[in-house]
Chains A and B, each alone.
Chain A
Amino acid sequence: MKLTKVVAFSYLSIAFLIYQNQLKATGSTIYGWITDAKTGQSIHNAVVGDSMTYQTTNSNKFGYYSLTLSSGKHKIMIAAHGYRAAEIKAQFTGYNLENIQLEPLEEGEEDPITAWLYALGNNNISHIAPTAEQIRNMPALACEPDILRFAQFLPGMMGGTEGLSGLFVRGSNADQNLLLMDNAPIYGLGHVFGVLSPFNSEQVKDVHLYRGVLPARFGGRAGGVIDVTMNEGSNSDFKGSYSINLLDFNFNFSGPMGKKTTFSAGIRRSWIDLLFPQDGENTFDYNFHDLNFKLFHKIDDNSSLTFNIYNGRDLFALKFSDSDKDSFNRLINRKFDFSTRWQNTLTSVQYQRKFSPALFANFMLGYSKFSYRSGIKFNIDITDTTGINKRESSVFAANAITDFINKNDFEYKLHNNSKLRFGSEFTVHGYKPGTEELKGTTNGVVSIDTTTGVINKGIGVESGLYAEYEYKNDRGLLINFGGRIWQFYAFEKNFIRMEPRIILRKILQKNAVIRAAFGIHNQGVNQLSSINGSLPRDVWFPAGEKIQPQQTIQGTLGLTKPLKNNFEFNAEVYYKRLKGVTDIASLDEYSNSPKFWEQLVYQGNGNAYGLEMFVIKKTGKITMMASYTYSFSDRKIEGINLDRKYFFRWDRRHSISGMCHFYLNQRTQVSLSLVIMSGNPVTVPTSKYVTADGRIVLDYSTKNNYRMPLYNRSDITVTRKMRFGSGDNGGGQYIGFNIYNWYGRFNPFSVTAVEIEQSGGKFEVKERALLRFVPTGFYCIKF
């Protein structure tokens, strides 16, 4: 009731503010949609700026922009990465509709105005928006580009275990990241136990990565945001691609469906299992797939509708059988059928409407589910003199999280210099943190049929109400002041917290921009996972009586400067306080007893701070990015490390990473990457001793006490265009290869103590490395 009143009061206040400002509105407003001239797809985060003043705005996720200026003659410049800058010179009074189409840059082409304007006009902080092309061109393990592994090359975003797509943003745990696919959250870790993320890079339209203070419209997580918008398809012609690499084949097709509708569809599937027969009693199977489908429908000039659906699934299955005779001369036949599957299913419908040139809204309904099921069926037939006795038993463990989401986002131009974003988010979480089904029959008669863990199933509600007031003046100052009221309810426990967020930007002379931000973020859902890497069995559970919501408090100061030759330089310093951050002392086979996670999870505090420097060049014959990060992160959690502070598992003091893509000639492209990082800490035993029950155990009481050696790796991908396609859509046949860790550097991913055989109990500690020099290839047709 109390929250309802707060919500109602907030909405009324905003409505009053809008009404007041409508009365005061003066000057002229230009507004419209920014789209790709070739495909008609909307362009997110394009910068629209007045060349005479420092007034700029960014197009939203649906390509809509609105810029208010004084009445009179203006030269408006429009820029977006991957596109040629455009300009409009005109006399503006009142409301002016200006739909803008931007021409994509040709391969190797660059546009100095775009780089310059984008560096100055981007209002976000701690934000990077790589182009989809940059991600596809990355040197990738198994020739499969991946958004999350691309992000690992960015400052402040550390990868975890070698080869996996884990992401640790500025000292946060992996479960603090919010992964969004077309505005709906996605929970599952992806494919092949985390080697690939759920995002098929061929289906990605644009990506926005936030690693610091988040604008108030984002909530529910205390770490970074990976905001991915999927491809909508071209409104002018059909396009497609087919590719095959070591892991999978990938077929994508998109195009128009009538005058107002476009679509994009894709399937990515592993193929190695198709080569092995799956019939018979002894089989092994592993496969995964991604299915993407998106529709975009333009209803009229003021409104449009998007529909997105995604399913990704992994299946691991093993069947075998044997038979023998026991000492009673009975014939015993046994059959084992083991299977593990996990999948993400996600769908969202979004309706965008421009109510007036000053008011734009997006309404979204979404559904997202992650489910996991693993177990074994065991059949035994015993044949003796009395006949055949049949016994069947099975045990299956399962977990799931299901979200129903509603988001309503509004943008309202209040005045010449100010804008208001506000909205609400409402999510119903359905938790199934872990159940176990045990069934048994003897000669068809049920002997056991029980399911444990049902008691932990539950429903939770998470909601947020946010507002961002954005003010700009003619001297390049921007203030984005706002906040979020965050509410989380689960297991009869309710939390309401305020989340102030403020972002300041000032354009300095000599085209430099300084930015500062402060924000608080809360998180109610947590994942019970090892810090080494997530597994599909790792359950999501809510905060409650014993587990408090996680919270981060962060401050950031940054500098951006466009440099010569289309380079952009960014530097940021940050400090982050983590409260209620989780860790686990171990992750054994947990039970399904009531709220079992409360026995496994420890909570405490942590600190993270650092300096990040980043140079990027997004267009031209040579594109590149390079970064240096100095960072520190620690934890202090009662019950772990003898209650003393310890380094975070992915704390790395120095990190240098770089990626570069260039054309050797008209047909051949090369992508190179390099990563050099300080080693991360791991836990190694310091000694051994005897326990009360006579076991010899190793002393692991000091956590993360051993620093791995320097990590150093370089990857290379070479792509050759075999045959040119017709038209200008980049069609043709491509062949290429990738070598991951091409100079075979030994980079340990684990350190373990091993007992030396026949040594009288001596142990040795071994560093183990994986993925030294991994060559793979691919073939691709684009049409």
Chain B
Amino acid sequence: MKKNLNKLGVALFSFAILSSCERDADLSKINTEQRLVVNALINNRESLSFQLTKSVALTEENNIQNVTNAQVYLIDEADNRMKLNYNPLTERYVLGFVPLAGRSYSLLIAAPGFQQIESKTILPGAGLSNKPTWKDSTAWDKDGFPLGSLFIPINDDASRENYYRVSINYWNSTSAEWVPLKISSSDPIIVEDAIQNKDGSIVINDEQFNGKFKTFNFQTPFGFTGQNPKFLIKTENLSKEYYDYFRSLDRYTEASGFFDEPTAVFTNIRNGLGIFAGSTVRLDTIK
């Protein structure tokens, strides 16, 4: 009897599920206008260079389509127009100019077949931070192996909202290159609020340590113990649009459940897509 009831329950449940199905949506009902896509994350350490592409139809194979014939200008606070040229080798628009911390810049792009696009950003003033340090064997992982700790101090400026991006690379002596290290931390601010990027870096805001001196403790995995490792730490002070962009990318990735509304990735490009945002960079190497 019990087995029969089980079978009945499973059969009815399966029937309801199996009776569900799917079909193609009629995409002719939506407006699929192509737009220019700017991916310009600029900072005070590198000369200006970014990729300009266009959005493509969902049904197309080629996801990345560069726009090579655009007129691209960077305009500074004094209204000086600097023209960027397309470099076919790097497939980027380039300008031999390094933006300055604390200054704002505008971007103006015109390309045949597209609406003219505009955007504006600021490179925040340099943050006040001390040099990071590393200590060996400060904790244990879940399998009982020793971990190290990287201490990264941030002295937050109370006069404004601040946003930070922290990236850690370690030196791989075998391949003789810097390799990104995925950051982990038990600090509640990191656990609760940090945005984990695809490249292993994290992005945080200063809401919980506004105007304070805060030292973050990041765990380095088993394997560095007793090895005299070398780390490259990149601490960036981000503009708000930089933060909003990464926050929306994070939400875009997370919002995959049925009840989640699809997330639009943040853009500050008028009439286009993508991002034009600035950051001020500090680099530290520790051994």
Contacts and interface: CB of A to CB of B under 8 A. Distances in A.
A746 interface: yes
Nearest to B198: A693
B186 interface: yes
A343 B165 CA distance: 41
A128 interface: no
B255 interface: yes
Contacts of B181: none
A283 interface: no
B261 interface: yes
A775 B32 CA distance: 41
A179 B198 CA distance: 44
A433 to B, nearest CB: 13
B144 interface: yes
A586 B260 contact: yes
A760 B56 CA distance: 13
A763 B58 contact: yes
Contacts of B252: 586, 697
B143 interface: yes
A774 interface: yes
B273 A700 contact: no
Contact of B19 (A588, A691, A773): A773
B89 interface: no
Contacts of A535: 259
Nearest to A246: B12
A744 B2 CA distance: 31
Interface in B1-35: 2, 5-6, 9, 12, 15-16, 19-27, 29-35
Interface in B24-61: 24-27, 29-35, 37, 39-41, 51, 53-61
A780 B142 CA distance: 55
Interface string A422-461: 0000000000000010000010000010101000000000
B154 interface: no
Contacts of B208: 593-594
A592 B35 CA distance: 37
B63 interface: yes
B57 A687 contact: yes
Contact of B193 (A591, A766, A773): A591
In this complex, the member of A436, A690, A696, A702 whose beta carbon has the largest number of chain B beta carbons within 10 angstroms is A690
A533 B6 CA distance: 30
Nearest to A753: B58
Contacts of A773: 19
B251 A585 contact: yes
B207 A688 contact: no
Interface string B240-280: 00000100111110110011111111010000011100000
Contacts of A275: 2, 5-6, 9
A776 to B, nearest CB: 7
B188 interface: yes
A635 to B, nearest CB: 13
A274 to B, nearest CB: 10
Contacts of A685: 58, 262
Given A698-B58, A701-B264, A761-B61, A594 B207 contact: yes
B78 interface: no
Interface in B96-125: none
Interface in A589-611: 589, 591-594
B240 to A, nearest CB: 13
A692 B245 contact: yes
A743 to B, nearest CB: 12
Nearest to A754: B22
Interface in A707-753: 707, 709, 744, 746, 748, 750-751, 753
B222 to A, nearest CB: 12
Contacts of B60: 761-762
A690 B263 contact: no
Interface string A567-590: 000000000000000001111110
Contacts of B188: 450, 452
Contacts of B57: 687-688
A151 to B, nearest CB: 21
Contacts, number: 209
Nearest to B249: A691
Nearest to B189: A593
A690 B58 CA distance: 12
B250 A593 contact: no
A687 B55 contact: yes
Given A686-B32, A691-B39, A587 B260 contact: yes
A703 interface: yes
Contact of A684 (B12, B30, B274): B30
B260 A591 contact: no
Contacts of A589: 254
B176 interface: no
Given A684-B30, A702-B31, A532 B261 contact: yes
Nearest to A531: B261
Given A593-B207, A686-B33, A762 B58 contact: yes
B20 A772 contact: yes
Given A448-B186, A767-B23, A692 B56 contact: no
A686 B63 CA distance: 14
Nearest to A537: B259
Contacts of A703: 264
B265 A691 contact: yes
A701 B273 contact: yes
Contacts of B142: 380, 391, 393
Given A687-B35, A697-B265, A746-B21, A592 B192 contact: yes
A689 B22 contact: no
Contacts of A5: none
Contacts of A699: 35, 55, 264-265, 273
Nearest to B252: A697
A764 B58 contact: yes
A561 B31 CA distance: 46
A769 B21 CA distance: 5
Interface string B165-194: 000000000000000000000101101110
B33 A689 contact: no
Contact of B61 (A591, A686, A760, A768): A760
Contacts of B54: 689
A213 B208 CA distance: 43
A750 B273 CA distance: 26
Contacts of B27: 684, 765
A385 B37 CA distance: 59
Given A452-B188, A689-B37, A769-B22, A586 B58 contact: no
Nearest to A741: B19
B72 to A, nearest CB: 16
Contacts of A772: 19-21
Interface string A30-41: 000000000000
B5 A761 contact: no
A276 B250 CA distance: 40
B20 A692 contact: no
Contacts of B259: 530, 532-533, 535, 587
A142 B53 CA distance: 52
Interface in A647-698: 683-698
B24 A767 contact: yes
A687 B263 contact: no
Given A389-B144, A687-B56, A771 B20 contact: yes
Interface of B: 2, 5-6, 9, 12, 15-16, 19-27, 29-35, 37, 39-41, 51, 53-64, 140, 142-144, 186, 188-189, 191-193, 197-199, 207-208, 245, 248-252, 254-255, 258-265, 267, 273-275
27 contacts: A246-B12, A382-B143, A452-B192, A530-B261, A532-B259, A533-B259, A584-B261, A586-B261, A589-B254, A591-B192, A593-B192, A593-B208, A684-B27, A686-B33, A687-B55, A695-B249, A698-B58, A699-B265, A701-B264, A701-B267, A706-B30, A762-B60, A764-B59, A765-B58, A767-B22, A768-B21, A772-B19
Given A275-B2, A586-B260, A588-B251, 5 more contacts: A689-B274, A699-B264, A700-B265, A706-B30, A707-B29
